[in-house]
Amino acid sequence: MSLGIMHSTLLQKLCIGIFLALLLLPMIGQTLSVGTGVTATEMRAPNELPGLPATFDEFSVLPQRFEAWLKDHFGFRNDLVLANNFIRVKVFGQSTSPLVVLGRNGWLFYTGEHALEQTRGIDRFSPEELDRWIDVMERRQAWLAERGIPMLMVAIPNKERVYLEDLPAWATQVNPESRMDQIVRRLAERRSPLVFKDMTADLVAAKKSMKVYLQADTHWTVDAAFTIGYRGIAEWIKSVRPDFRPLATADMKQVRVMRQGVDLDLARMLGLTAVYQEEEIRYELLGSPKLRSNDTSMPNGIVQNILRADLPTAPTVVWFRDSFTIPMYSYIAESFRKAVITEHKGLRFDKALIEEQKPDVVVYQFVERSLNNPVPAE
């Protein structure tokens, strides 16, 4: 047998061996549960292996249920999914999620809750909806005023409006006025008494010297949450409660940390938590903490925290919030004698909670994209 024929035979055997190994690897991986967990990578429970069907309906869906189980437990599944997502996003520039748009300069943007349509001025209030929204908020403020409680409404813009220049080229503005802009304009036209703080201008100005939103997440940075969010809200509270003593920058020390992909919601949506990470600045208290307790409960399915601090002369607050308040928890905890922080979930307003707590001030924080929710009737 010639050397060339021997070489060809060995090459064929090697190719067959590699092919068989590739066929067997997923089976081995599935048996050993290698790369099969979806909980950490996709933030959901894996599909379970279906049992023997007892009814015709169960029998009819058995193939789909078995296929769903097999997909979730396929050997090296996570590695294959990661490779596919990486190639699509980083090589071909294609999003792997209908909720994520790939922007310029590595920025990712959210398409859920009409955030992009709001930014482009496509999703807007009708005149009737706009006046109804303001009417409801004015009534809430008036109801509180009757009880001697001042309220501040804090509106945080969508990331897409703050980083317009990094949106993809096709995402042009159809109308420059967003829902938030409509509210600001109409408040002025009506000479409304509503105390309304739109943080858009503050964040746009601050981004010249700092990153105010995370590139691979829908939320603002911890840096912006403290320097723009907390400090801006504290300034208003001090205007109505001169005895209020908020945290100052001098009370904190800056710490640089690396936020991992599992904590970046847009990276999770793309299935690329292993690829993305971002450095951000966080703030830690220099002195001894005043927080004494943090009681968490879920009345009617609404997450509620009651923070109590050793600050006997500080005011109390009821703080309606969404996820943008979460980075401010540690600052709120060190600023109030008692802070009751509750989700508003659809811009709800809990009069019973306020009657029970009798706070000195009320803060009502929401992100712009929640303006898609019809404001609840009072």
178 with 296, same domain? Answer: yes
81 with 117, same domain? Answer: no
Cβ proximity of 354 and 362 under 8 Å: yes
Query: CA 220: distance to chain centroid?
Result: 9
Tell me how many domains the chain contains: 2
- The three-state secondary structure class of 215 is coil
132 with 39, same domain? Answer: no
Q: Which range marks the domain in which residue 124 is found?
A: 108-372
Task: Spell out a b/e string for 138-175, using b for 16 or more CB atoms within 10 Å of the CB, else e.
Answer: eebbeebeeeebbbbbbbbbbbbbbbeebbeeebeeee
pLDDT (tens, 9 = 90+) of the chain, 378 residues, equals: 555 555 567 666 666 655 554 455 555 545 545 445 555 555 556 766 676 777 877 667 667 776 666 566 555 566 667 787 888 998 898 999 999 999 999 999 999 999 999 999 999 999 999 999 999 999 999 999 999 999 999 999 999 999 999 999 999 999 999 999 999 999 999 999 999 999 999 999 999 999 999 999 999 999 999 999 999 999 999 999 999 999 999 999 999 999 999 999 999 999 999 999 999 999 999 999 999 999 999 998 999 999 999 999 999 999 999 999 999 999 999 999 999 999 999 899 999 999 999 999 999 999 999 999 888 877
88 with 137, same domain? Answer: no
Task: Spell out a b/e string for 4-18, using b for 16 or more CB atoms within 10 Å of the CB, else e.
Answer: eeeeeeeeeeeeeee
**Structural domain ending residue among the three candidates 94, 121, 142:** 94
- The residue length of the chain stands at 378
84 with 138, same domain? Answer: no
Q: Tell me, yes or no, whether 247 lies in a domain.
A: yes
172 with 244, same domain? Answer: yes
**Beta carbons within 10 angstroms of residue 220's beta carbon:** 25
257 with 128, same domain? Answer: yes
Residue 104 and residue 115: Cα distance in Å, rounded? 17
Q: Tell me, yes or no, whether 336 lies in a domain.
A: yes
pTM score: 0.82
* Residue 86 DSSP one-character state: H
Q: Tell me, yes or no, whether 15 lies in a domain.
A: no
77 with 112, same domain? Answer: no
- The three-state secondary structure class of 227 is helix
Residue 72 and residue 303: Cα distance in Å, rounded? 31
